[in-house]
Amino acid sequence: MKIIGEKINGTRKAVAAAIANRDAEFIQNLAKKQVEGGAHWLDVNAGTHPDREVDDMLWLVDLIQGVSDVPLSLDSANPKALTAALSAVKKTPMINSISGEPDRLNNVLPIVAQHGCEVIALAMDDKGIPNSVEARLAVVRRLFEVTRAASVPDEKVYIDPLVMTIATNTECGVITLNTIQAVRAEFPQAHISLGLSNVSFGLPARSLVNRTFLTLAIAAGMDTAIIDPNDREMKAALFATDLLLGQDKHCLNYTRAFRKGLLEPAKQPA
């Protein structure tokens, strides 16, 4: 399992304020903490101000690279922001994201192909998120047609099957899990990533639902999670799931995490 650290996201209030106030320390701390927590990529989302996105993205990229060596996941559908960021990155980044929406696909895919990036591809199109496994898989098939036509190899594509909250439809979890299995079977070279916290929107005890869904999604074939790498309970579930699925040779990662105190509930602050 690999982790995309989700915290540097300008749609979150505290991050938006840090960007607006040019609070470098806040952003760099988020970067350092996520790397310490085990992030393999750091997502970078400069927020929702198109007029400022290029400047804000460049400021974030420079700052983050000042304290971390892990590759970035450039989270934008704005080709100008992506192109500017690509001129500044030290390592080839992941692009987050394309989808079956024609505008997004036409704007972003050429950049992905030109720079040899990995890319997250959302299983949705201009009609929204399909309600069935078969319809979601149809979107995924069309996405692979265009990524292959653009010479992006399947192994650089991270399909996000998407999940909606089970608070409004209790089938939502199963649809996503079955989509993961279907994509894994049909496109074995591709990766599956998932921003999974939507699943619990509107429910109580969301952390329990999210970490349980993480376990189910890993078992179904997800190999990359978009999470907070310092969410202790999520990480504990991840270590235990990898262990139980035979992905942790000699239980080394699990026992090491235990010795670091990562598997038991955190002490309450005094």
Which positions touch a copy of itself (CB under 8 A)?
166-167, 170-171, 173-174, 177, 199, 203-205, 208-209, 212-213, 215-216, 219-220, 236-237, 240-241, 243-246, 248-251, 254-255, 258, 263-265
Min dist. Cβ of residue 184 to a copy of itself (A) = 15
29, 90, 188 from 183: Cα distances, Å: 36, 32, 8
Min dist. Cβ of residue 265 to a copy of itself (A) = 6
Query: What does the alpha-carbon distance between residue 226 and residue 42 come to, in Å, rounded to a whole number?
Result: 10
What does DSSP assign to residue 45?
B
Length of the chain: 270
Q: Which is nearer to a copy of itself, 107 or 253 (CB)?
A: 253
Q: Which is nearer to a copy of itself, 65 or 255 (CB)?
A: 255
Min dist. Cβ of residue 237 to a copy of itself (A) = 6
CA torsion through residues 62, 44, 82, 18, sign:
negative
Element (H, E) at 210: helix 206-220
Q: Which is nearer to a copy of itself, 7 or 211 (CB)?
A: 211
What does DSSP assign to residue 40?
S
Q: Which is nearer to a copy of itself, 45 or 210 (CB)?
A: 210
Min dist. Cβ of residue 35 to a copy of itself (A) = 24
Min dist. Cβ of residue 235 to a copy of itself (A) = 11
Q: Could you tell me which residues are beta bridge partners of residue 161? A: none
Q: Which is nearer to a copy of itself, 9 or 215 (CB)?
A: 215
Q: SS3 helix, strand, coil % of the chain, rounded to 5? A: 50, 15, 35
Contact criterion met (CB below 8 Å) for 84 and 54: yes
Min dist. Cβ of residue 78 to a copy of itself (A) = 34
Q: Which is nearer to a copy of itself, 54 or 218 (CB)?
A: 218
Burial class of residue 4 (count of CB atoms within 10 Å of its CB; 0-12, 13-18, 19+) = buried
